[in-house]
Structure 1
């Protein structure tokens, strides 16, 4: 009986400890694949931003990303080179891209493909502070760069989106937990 009362009293704390589910959608319109992701994470907007633009350290927390680096920087502009891999139906594939990234700190990240074998993509990521949480909304239009990429199913693409953004969400929460030290905790 006591454990039941503990659960009732502590349920709000348990619920807060769980990350929000990643909502993803993938829709094909002819040759264009429209991708969208939305999630809410219990971190300040500045911390969410820090993770979303940490291109040089992304291979440490994003699955299937082997290399990522900003090769050119200006005030609110980056050129980012990324290389990674994925497996579809047991077959390994690799990709490489160079993207032009425009930053509107700490609210918006726009990117477009300049070159590479991953196809053409234009994306926008919005970050909005809501109380003590940040809402992340990502939208992209992707034109696959090969017949093989065009054959990838929407279910697989949705699974990969969820995997990638879940890893970002987990990194945000990890950094938040590491920023709270015993000396800084209330």
Structure 2
């Protein structure tokens, strides 16, 4: 069942949809947000690897350790947790960029058995930009069975909402400021 959220920021109202499911321990997630932003703003946020920890909850560090054109290696650390459940995360990702539309990442190290994800940007006919995320995650640790789906859903929703929020903040900063009307 999708989680629908409405996010208000400045003059924009955005609809987000986040779905999670699991099968044999593999967690699948898909999320999307339609925003009134410039595609370049959205791209600059999703590809700002060295600053992701500044605005994504539970991420402690994120840094590019190697780059060769549109291929890079990214190391990230953080905490996967909710209430009483806390699990440190370390992941090394092989990332392929296809600017300005797509980023694909695949775990090549760390404490995730499997992690594959992609971000896609699409300009819609009404001028909005759709940010979509699709991912598969197989942790190398046990997630408590009774709260596992809830934990995953809350963490992923918080991170996606934070990503969209940062896109909107940067768009608002980049928008030309209209001076107040002069009184006559």
- TM-score w.r.t. the length of structure 1 is 0.83
- Aligned-pair Cα RMSD in Å: 2.3
Instruction: Give CA-to-partner distance per residue, 1:80-114, whole Å, 9 cap, x none.
Output: 00001133341332111000000111111110000
Between Structure 1 and Structure 2, which shows a larger proportion of strand residues? 2
Instruction: Give CA-to-partner distance per residue, 1:97-143, whole Å, 9 cap, x none.
Output: 00000011111111000000133111121110124321011111111
- The counterpart of 2:106, out of the listed 109, 112, 115, is 112
- The counterpart of 2:150, out of the listed 146, 155, 165, is 155
Matching of residue 84 in structure 1 with residue 81 in structure 2? no
* d(CA) in 1 for partners of 2:138, 2:18: 18
State the partner residue of 1:37: 31
> Gaps spanning 5+ residues in structure 1: where?
1-13
Between Structure 1 and Structure 2, which shows a larger proportion of helix residues? 1
Q: Which has the larger radius of gyration?
A: 1
Matching of residue 95 in structure 1 with residue 97 in structure 2? no
> Gaps spanning 5+ residues in structure 2: where?
1-7, 180-184
Q: Residue 18 and residue 180 in structure 1: after superposition, are their counterparts in 2 closer, same or farther (change >3 A)?
A: closer
State the partner residue of 1:145: 140
Q: Residue 91 and residue 157 in structure 1: after superposition, are their counterparts in 2 closer, same or farther (change >3 A)?
A: closer
Structure showing greater relative contact order (alpha-carbon pairs closer than 8 Å, 6 or more residues apart): 1
- TM-score w.r.t. the length of structure 2 is 0.84
* Offset, 1:158: 1.5
Q: Is the 8 A contact 2:82 2:155 kept in 1?
A: no
Q: How many residues end up aligned between the 2 structures? A: 171
Following TM superposition, the consecutive aligned residue runs of length 4 or more in structure 1 with deviations greater than 6 angstroms are none
